[in-house]
Copies of this chain bind each other. A is one copy, B any other.
């Protein structure tokens, strides 16, 4: 057990830096917050390196389990004053527990290897809430992996992680430097690429087969890039009965992912 008392402590500075993508990528680390999220990380054998706990939470006795997990998993535990914890936290009302974790980087190749039969491709999803919700929904719908274009918001952004509600530890998410190329590779391996598109020719509930398929969801303002749309086997439309011009990206994604699940169940 270690005690931190000063904001000048190097670990305090490091965690603060991990709020920026540049530093997360430079250091190969990210952090999550909250009792349930940390429990999920322990359960899923995430590579937790350090656990930071506020004095208040520590003294409440509610974190005994995490202390013994630390012994078996091998992470270090740090206790720090409530005020200092609030400074490093990314939330307005921190629960007082935060884990610094080394990400499991998934290789695009592994997802395309043939073990997976239903994937989601994300083309420049920008909003952290949407990104996190898509990961959560993909987990619920039984999607086997997500490939995000490098233009997407970082999945280790604290707001993305919060919105995943723990699903970031359940489903592989990897980044593609060239999403159109990834789509072509998937096609060559027998995947059908279905891209959600306002100019689509087929309603999403009329897709003939979901076996070995990948759904593409596009950017919130601009949709799917032309390069990626050109690789699609089908441009898929979500019917609009009212006067809304479009759907939220995570809603559009959910409709397509659940359509695939429905076709499996029915």
Contact = CB atoms under 8 A, between A and B. Distances in A.
A238 to B, nearest CB: 8
Contacts of A261: 239, 241
Interface string A145-165: 000000000000000000101
Can you tell how many copies of this chain the complex includes? 2
Contacts of A167: 242-244
Interface string A206-240: 00000000000000000000000000000000111
Interface in A242-259: 242-248, 250-251, 254-255, 258
A137 interface: yes
A133 B255 CA distance: 14
Contacts of A203: 265
Interface in A152-192: 163, 165-167, 170-171
A129 interface: yes
Nearest to A171: B242
B248 A139 contact: no
Interface string A93-134: 000000000000000000000000000000000000100010
A129 B163 CA distance: 12
Contacts of A245: 165-166
A136 interface: yes
A165 B244 contact: yes
Interface of A: 129, 133, 136-143, 163, 165-167, 170-171, 203, 205, 238-248, 250-251, 254-255, 258, 261-262, 264-266
29 contacts: A129-B129, A133-B251, A136-B244, A136-B247, A137-B248, A139-B243, A139-B244, A140-B238, A140-B240, A140-B244, A140-B246, A141-B241, A141-B242, A143-B242, A165-B244, A165-B245, A166-B245, A167-B242, A167-B243, A170-B242, A203-B265, A205-B262, A238-B258, A241-B264, A250-B250, A250-B251, A254-B254, A255-B255, A255-B258
